[in-house]
Amino acid sequence: MKEIYLDNNATTKVDEAVFEEMRPYFCELYGNPSSMHFFGGQVQGKVNEARQRVAALLGASTDEIIFTACGTESDNAAIRSALEVFPDRRHVITSRVEHPAVLTQCRNLTQKGYRVTEIGVDSAGRLDLEELKAAVDEDTAIVSLMWANNETGVIFPVEEAAAIAKAKGALFHTDAVQAVGKIKIDMASSCIDMLSVSGHKLHAPKGIGVLYLRRGTPFRPFLVGGHQEKSRRAGTENAGAIIALGKACELAGTYMDIENSQVKAQRDRLQDALMASIPNARINGEGADRLPNTTSIAFEFVEGEAILLLLSELGICASSGSACTSGSLEPSHVLRAMGVPFTCAHGSIRFSLSRFTTDDEIDFVIKELPSIIQRLRQMSPFGREFLKSQV
Ligand code: PLP
């Protein structure tokens, strides 16, 4: 069965051009980039080129790019560093809808005596900037807010948020893992101090990330040891993956227009058709500024997992808005923070497209999903009540 892959916010296909770029750096050009000899030197040259490509996509300088192992490491490194840089500041601000890479770390900090404020969102998932303004004070070490939400695609006004944080002397970090490659980012005209990137969300392999660190921003490394990455991240560079990420960033720049035209048009067509053909459905985050590739749709009176299973039988890959905790399916913290009613949050499905998504794939989902929802509603007591009320 050929897959119809609409789960690109979970991970993406490695672009074949990206794979070809990194291929020689495993079995042939396997030198250590830090070695003095020519064999390591040629890898170092390619790592430098990758750094330039990443910097170009972010509108950054090459010395502001630190390669890490993943988005999670970049998030952890940014927050931990701020706390070490400002030992007297004991307050951290984040939002209620962050990825666990940020949220878990922040919640753990409360056990170490830190004050942690989680800023809320409205029913469309928009950040409450007034709440942020009221929360930042001279005790705040860092404000960490995501650029775009992985579940709903809702985009936060990170530049305004950064200005608010910096007015009180706090550092500002953004988890831009879902934003990079999908929307334009220009760190040269920004006041954000730190930004996280993950390779596998933009058609590079898993296990490579970046922490952007604005020049002059005080920093304490998370991993210490060797002098790699100008002593800001010890550990022999994952050269092949770094080279892949460089190529992926170059391609992301080239395809950015496609992301915002073709991919967005497919996303809009998918959600418009599903909203028109399926009663009692709603778009989570509707009305907010959203990523062009993402739509999260709640289908009332059905279980998201049941939808996913039936979609999967047809080869369609998407994801749900629930997390399996201790055997029970809880609506995700993001949908709960938005106040999405329980009956809707349970039946939420996220479709996330990419430049590899085809029109035929979208047509297939538009054709198949309405009958899946109808079947599932017939199987559930609330669903049957609802269907009866429709006739
Ligand atoms: N932040 C966001 C918003 C994400 O969506 C993800 C991955 O899903 C991460 C961080 C973690 O990135 P990685 O898988 O590279 O650790």
Domain boundaries, the chain: 4-10+256-390, 16-251
Ligand 1 in contact with 153 (CB < 6 A)?
Answer: no
Mean of all residue pLDDT scores within the chain: 96
Q: Which residues make beta-bridge pairs with 386?
A: none
* Residue 381: how many other CB atoms lie within 10 Å: 8
Atom from ligand 1 closest to the CA of residue 101? 10
List the residue whose alpha carbon is closest to atom 12 of ligand 1: 71
Q: Which residues make beta-bridge pairs with 383?
A: none
Rg (C-alpha) for the chain, rounded Å, is 22
CA–centroid distance, residue 12 to ligand 1 (Å): 12
**Is the distance from CB of 296 to CB of 290 less than 8 angstroms?**
no
Half-sphere exposure of residue 117: CA atoms within 13 angstroms, side-chain side: 20
DSSP state of 139: T
pLDDT value of position 174 = 98
Ligand 1 in contact with 70 (CB < 6 A)?
Answer: yes
pLDDT value of position 384 = 83
Helix/strand/coil for 105 = helix
Q: Distance from CA of residue 379 to its chain's centroid?
A: 34
pLDDT in tens, 253-301: 999 999 999 999 999 999 999 999 999 999 999 999 999 999 999 999 9
Which single residue is written with the structure tokens 């064999």?
Answer: 39
Atom from ligand 1 closest to the CA of residue 146? 3
- Please state, in angstroms and rounded to a whole number, the distance separating the CA atoms of residues 308 and 4: 13
List the residue whose alpha carbon is closest to atom 5 of ligand 1: 150
Those residues of the chain that have pLDDT short of 50 are 326
Query: Which pairing describes strands 194-198 and 209-213: parallel, antiparallel, or unpaired?
Result: antiparallel
- Please state, in angstroms and rounded to a whole number, the distance separating the CA atoms of residues 26 and 213: 29
Which single residue is written with the structure tokens 């080869």?
Answer: 315
pLDDT value of position 322 = 66
CA–centroid distance, residue 151 to ligand 1 (Å): 11
Question: Which active-site residues does the annotation give?
Answer: 324
- Please state, in angstroms and rounded to a whole number, the distance separating the CA atoms of residues 52 and 249: 10
pLDDT value of position 189 = 98
Taking the alpha carbons of 272, 274, 280, 285 in that order, is the dihedral positive or negative?
negative
pLDDT value of position 389 = 86
Q: What is the pTM of this model?
A: 0.97
pLDDT value of position 381 = 82
Torsions phi, psi of 350, nearest 5? -105, 125
pLDDT value of position 13 = 98
Ligand 1 in contact with 149 (CB < 6 A)?
Answer: no
List the residue whose alpha carbon is closest to atom 7 of ligand 1: 10
- Please state, in angstroms and rounded to a whole number, the distance separating the CA atoms of residues 145 and 92: 11
Angle at 217 between CA 9 and CA 209, to 5 degrees: 25
DSSP state of 135: H
Q: Which of 97, 106, 150, 177 has most ligand 1 atoms within 8 Å of its beta carbon, as the pocket-test mutant?
A: 177
Q: Which of 7, 11, 68, 72 has most ligand 1 atoms within 8 Å of its beta carbon, as the pocket-test mutant?
A: 72
How far the first Cα of the chain sits from its last, in Å, is 37
- Please state, in angstroms and rounded to a whole number, the distance separating the CA atoms of residues 143 and 136: 8
Containing 325, the helix (H) or strand (E) segment is strand 322-325
pLDDT in tens, 81-115: 999 999 999 999 999 999 999 999 999 999 999 99
Ligand 1 in contact with 266 (CB < 6 A)?
Answer: no
Q: What would the CATH number be for the domain defined by 4-10+256-390?
A: 3.90.1150.10
* Residue 317: how many other CB atoms lie within 10 Å: 16
Ligand 1 in contact with 150 (CB < 6 A)?
Answer: yes
Ligand 1 in contact with 95 (CB < 6 A)?
Answer: no
CA–centroid distance, residue 375 to ligand 1 (Å): 34
Q: What would you measure as the largest C-alpha separation in the chain, in angstroms?
A: 78
| 16-251: CATH, from 3.40.640.10, 3.40.50.300, 3.10.20.440, 3.40.50.10860 | 3.40.640.10
Q: Which of 197, 200, 201 has most ligand 1 atoms within 8 Å of its beta carbon, as the pocket-test mutant?
A: 201
The residue length of the chain stands at 391
pLDDT value of position 74 = 98
- Please state, in angstroms and rounded to a whole number, the distance separating the CA atoms of residues 357 and 264: 11
Which residues have C-beta within 8 Å of that of residue 363, sequence separation ≥ 6? none
List the residue whose alpha carbon is closest to atom 9 of ligand 1: 71
